[in-house]
Each structure stands twice: as structure tokens, then as C-alpha cells.
Amino acid sequence: MGWKRDLGWGNPALGVILRAVAPVASALTAAIVYWYGASQAGLFDPSRLAYVVIGATLYGQISAYAWVPTSAIAEGKSSNVYPQVYLTPSSSVPYLAGRCFASFLESVPMVMVSFLVSAGVSVAFFHSQLQLIITPLSAGLAVLAMVAVFPSALGLGYLLGSYSIFASKFEWAVPSYISGALMILSEALFPASVLPWPLSAVAESLPFTYFMRATRDALLYGSYGAYLVDVGYCLALSVPLVVLGLVAFSYGERRGRSKGFIDRKSL
Amino acid sequence: MYGEPLWFAVGVAFPLFSSFGFAFLYRSSGASALAGFAVLGGIAVSFWSNVVWSMASQFYWDKQEGLFEIYLVSPAPTSAILAGMSLGGFLGTLPSALLVGLVGWRYFGSSVSPSWGLVGASFALTIVALYALGMLLASLYLAYGRQAESLNDAVQSTVSMFSGLYFPTIGVGSPFPFALQVGVSLIPFTIGMDALRKSVFAPADPRLGLDLLVLAALCVGFVVAARRMAEYMRMKGRRDGTLAVRLR
């Protein structure tokens, strides 16, 4: 029942496959765009292909679970779960953190499937091996980087969740805005230097950018010193985002209560 | 959408960000001249998203909410209701598609000299084929749909990749083997995007005429198939007693 409820399918394997299709297709689309553009320009570089595949897989993962607080509130209001959670003594902050963490755990296997499929397809379609360093150490460091960026994604989730308390329709566009912003601003597909100012400066100040760099340090460059620095930046930059998210969410709940939005289903 | 402007902000996000993201990727790959492909893909994906989220799964959601029975007892044929939904969906999506096109062209400044007549013909045929596909999918979702969100995510991203929204998937430059190119050509969007790219970026391409002919044939085929499928599913649902069953 747990699988069925969470994946929406009676057959867990089918549920997992259906959930993996979209991130795999998105990562491959980005890989093909790079391959096509670079090949036409005569500048194809297999390590850059790996750079794109890593980023394309990971930004989708972050956006998938950073949206969870928003959807938990939006769906929870219509199913009356959110008002009940709000009434509990510890409020909704730990509830949303738990939902977000569960989604994070679910997304890790999807990332692995994306990497494996992308590696296979690269050989089949582009006749090029993905130049990834896959060792227990590099894989462990990549997972550690995913854990390091989790607080930032949670902070972003609280920030967006505070809006979701009052939203009526726009919350359904939030995943597109998160994944779109991460696609452009987190060095997911291309270096921040490609962006015009001030977008490049924004990208340099986001923890997600350093998460991408750290993962590439581990899986692509094998540069473990740079990895530690980038994980450090990622963690340091997550602090203001988490604080901002918690403050905004706390304010949102207080205001939502005073204005009667906590249990309002349609606006 | 015109009654609730907030839907505009909802609809424009995905096409705008994805077209800009891929245009920057083209630029960073040393192929700035191809950034226009990404902008064109952003325009097309606006309509494709509308087809998937507001056409294909619409009957399924209407059924869950109890609206579908009202459609069925109305005197209008099911295919006419789907055609009306298509027209409404197209008009509702047009503003966001135009915005993506204008902003993208302005920023990435692709220097192109399209043949506007051919662009219009390619666009019209692509849209008809695309919404006919949406009508066909609506019937299939109605019969077999379960967890429409999961199906939509899978269908949207997979078709986007195989049909070549942002890069050619058939002919010269395709990354796919020949057999796969033949397979993906059966998706009307594939031929439509190929025709649109040629009419915008290479209007003198002699294969454009063939694309338009195949696209016209696909339009007729998909419209006929969608009409028959809608009627077949309606009759099957009535026989099996599943038209009003919410969860299966």
C-alpha cells in the first residue's frame, strides 16, 4: 500500500520506471543538444558531454524534491491534511522536512538510473564514452554532495511553501520555475560565465552552483581538494537560504492563520 | 486563460526557461547560430505541453471529477467536444508561445530570412497534427489512464526528445540510427518540427515540400483516427460500464 500510495502504481517496478523516464529523457535531450551543437561547430569534447550529463541529471533531481513542500501544502489543503498538520504541537516545519527528505531518498536511485542510461546511450548514439570517474570513493563523494545541498533545497522549499499557503493556481508552475531557474543559473548545462551580468553573479552566489561543481570535481575531474572547497561553499551558502526559508515560512503561516488561509481550499 | 491571467505565468515558465537554457547551451558549445533552434523548440513546446496537460489527460480528469458523464449525455459528438477543447487550448497557449518567440528572437538575435508562407503552412499543419494526436491520446487516457501525472511526465519528455524539439532527429545531423528515425517519423511532431526548422532556417531546402506532404497526410490520418477512437472508446465504455468508474 505504501508503494502504491507513493508511486501511484500497484506494480513498484512500473512506478519506478515511469518516474525515471522523464529525468532520463531530459538528461539525454541536453546531451544531444550539446552533441549536435558542438559537432556542428567542430568542437565536440567527450568530457564536456559528461559535464552536461552530470548537470542535466542533478538539476532535475533538486527541482523534484525542492517542490515537495509546495505540493504538500497545496495538495494538503485540498485533502485537509495540511490544516491537521498545522494543528499539531510541532507545526508543519518538521513535517515538510520529512516529506522533502523522503522525496530526496526516492530521487537518488533515479539519478543513478539516469547516469547509467545516459552512459549507455552516449556509446550507442554519440560513439563516445562518458568520461566519468566511477569508483566507490567518487560515487560516495557525489552522494555526500547531494546530502550537502539538501539543506539549500529544503530552504528553497520553505521559501516557496510560504507562498503556497496563499496561492490558488501558481503553485502548479513552481516546479517549472525551479527547474528552469536551476537549469540556467546553477551551471547545470554550461558555465556561469556564459550568462550575462547580473545573472552570472547570481549563479556564482547560489549553493546549487557549488553543488554542481563539487559533483563534477568528484565524478569528472577527480579533484578532491576542489571538491572540499566547493562542498564548503555549498554548505556555507545554504545557511542564509535555510534561515530565509524558515523566516518566510513562519511569517507565511502566521499571516495565513490571521487571514484565514490555512484551511481555505479555493481562492 | 483570458479570464484568469495568472495561467499565463503558469504556462510560459517551462517553454521560456527550456528554450533559454538550450539556447545558452548551444552558445556555450560554440554554435551560437543554432540558438534559434532552441527558441523554435520553446515555441513548439508551449503547444506540446498544452496538448499533454490540457488535452490528453483532460477527459481522464473530467471523469475523476464527474464531468465526463455530462459531456456524454450532451447532444454533441465526443470528437466535437475534443475539437473545441483543441481550439480553446491553441488560443490559450498562443500568447505564451508568442512571448517565448519574441523574447528569444530578441535576445539571441538569430539572423534568419524565413519564407513566411511556408512557415505559416508548416505551423498550421503541425498544430493540426499535434492537437489530433492530443485527441487520440485523450481517448487512450480515458480507457487506460491511471496516474495521469506520471504518464504525462513520461510522455511529454520522451516525445520532446524523440521528436526533436531542440535538434534534428531525422535526416542529416540526427543522432539516431536509421530505424529509429523511421519510427520517430510516425510522431507528427517530428515531421512538423523538421518542416518548421527548414521553413525558418533553410526555406530553399528541396525536402521541405516532402515534409509538408507527409505532414498533411499525417494530419488527415490522425484526425480520422482520433474521431474513430473517441467513438470506439465511448461505445466500449458504455458496454463495459466503465465510463463513470472513477478509480480502477
Confidence check: pLDDT of A76 > 70: yes
Whether B28 is in a domain gets the answer: yes
CB A47 within 8 A of CB A220: yes
φ and ψ at residue A105, rounded to 5 degrees: -60, -40
Shortest Cα distance, chain B CAs vs residue A115, angstroms: 17
CB B218 within 8 A of CB B188: yes
* Cβ neighbours of B154 in A, within 8 Å: 18, 21-22, 25
Confidence of residue A1 (pLDDT cuts 50, 70, 90): very low
Q: In angstroms, rounded to a whole number, what is the distance separating the alpha carbons of residues B197 and B192?
A: 9
Q: Which chain B residue has the Cα nearest residue A9? A: B147
CB A170 within 8 A of CB A177: no
In this complex, do B166 and A33 lie within 8 Å of one another by their Cβ atoms?
yes
In this complex, do B154 and A22 lie within 8 Å of one another by their Cβ atoms?
yes
- pLDDT attached to residue B76: 83
- pLDDT attached to residue B93: 85
Structural domains in chain B (count) = 1
Whether B1 is in a domain gets the answer: no
Q: Where are the domains of chain A?
A: 2-259
Shortest Cα distance, chain A CAs vs residue B45, angstroms: 13
Amino acid letter for position A102: A
Name the residue facing A40 among B34, B146, B161 (closest C-beta).
B34
By the CB < 8 Å criterion, does B17 face chain A?
Answer: yes
Confidence of residue A140 (pLDDT cuts 50, 70, 90): very high
Shortest Cα distance, chain B CAs vs residue A18, angstroms: 6
Q: Which chain A residue has the Cα nearest residue B34? A: A37
Name the residue facing B18 among A9, A32, A180 (closest C-beta).
A180
- pLDDT attached to residue A9: 52
Q: What is the pLDDT of residues B137-170, one digit of tens each?
A: 888 777 665 556 667 777 888 888 898 889 998 8
- pLDDT attached to residue B247: 56
Confidence check: pLDDT of A25 > 80: yes
Residue ranges in chain B whose pLDDT is less than 70:
1-7, 110, 143-150, 244-248
φ and ψ at residue A46, rounded to 5 degrees: -55, -35
Burial annotation A23-34 (CB, 10 A radius, 16+ → b, else e):
bbbbbbbbbbbb
In this complex, do B154 and A180 lie within 8 Å of one another by their Cβ atoms?
no
Shortest Cα distance, chain B CAs vs residue A209, angstroms: 15
Name the residue facing A33 among B26, B146, B154 (closest C-beta).
B26
- In eight-state DSSP terms, residue A53 is H
Instruction: Note down the domain range covering B37.
Output: 6-240
Whether B248 is in a domain gets the answer: no
Q: Compute how many other C-beta atoms are within 10 angstroms of the C-beta atom of residue B61.
A: 16
Bond preceding residue A23 cis, omega within 30 of 0: no
Nearest in space to A24 (alpha carbons), one of A103, A109, A140, A100 = A109
Confidence of residue A185 (pLDDT cuts 50, 70, 90): very high
Nearest in space to A154 (alpha carbons), one of A267, A227, A248 = A248
By the CB < 8 Å criterion, does B168 face chain A?
Answer: yes
**The residue to which cell 488560443 is assigned:** B91
Mutant choice from A29, A67, A160 vs B, greatest count of B C-beta within 10 A: A29
Shortest Cα distance, chain A CAs vs residue B43, angstroms: 15
Confidence check: pLDDT of A260 > 90: no
C-alpha distance from residue B21 to each of A45, A48, A187, A259, B97 (Å): 19, 16, 10, 39, 16
By the CB < 8 Å criterion, does B105 face chain A?
Answer: no
Q: In angstroms, rounded to a whole number, what is the distance separating the alpha carbons of residues B47 and B131?
A: 9
In this complex, do B30 and A173 lie within 8 Å of one another by their Cβ atoms?
no
Shortest Cα distance, chain B CAs vs residue A89, angstroms: 33
Q: Which chain A residue has the Cα nearest residue B26? A: A37
The percentage of residues in chain B with a pLDDT greater than 70, rounded to a whole number, is 91
In this complex, do B21 and A35 lie within 8 Å of one another by their Cβ atoms?
no
Nearest in space to A167 (alpha carbons), one of A74, A42, A76, A248 = A74
By the CB < 8 Å criterion, does B109 face chain A?
Answer: no
Confidence check: pLDDT of A192 > 90: yes
pTM for the full model?
Answer: 0.88
Whether B246 is in a domain gets the answer: no
Higher pLDDT, B147 or A30: A30
Name the residue facing B24 among A26, A43, A184 (closest C-beta).
A184
Cα R_g (chain B), whole angstroms: 19
Higher pLDDT, B77 or A222: A222
Q: In angstroms, rounded to a whole number, what is the distance separating the alpha carbons of residues A50 and A39?
A: 15
Confidence check: pLDDT of A67 > 60: yes
Nearest in space to A48 (alpha carbons), one of A137, A111, A132, A114 = A132
φ and ψ at residue A73, rounded to 5 degrees: -75, -45
- pLDDT attached to residue B16: 87
CB B164 within 8 A of CB B193: yes
- pLDDT attached to residue B20: 92
φ and ψ at residue A248, rounded to 5 degrees: -65, -40
Q: Compute how many other C-beta atoms are within 10 angstroms of the C-beta atom of residue A166.
A: 16
Q: In angstroms, rounded to a whole number, what is the distance separating the alpha carbons of residues A186 and A192?
A: 7
CB A71 within 8 A of CB A171: yes
Q: What is the pLDDT of residues A162-184, one digit of tens each?
A: 888 887 666 667 777 888 888 89
- In eight-state DSSP terms, residue A106 is H
Confidence of residue A215 (pLDDT cuts 50, 70, 90): very high
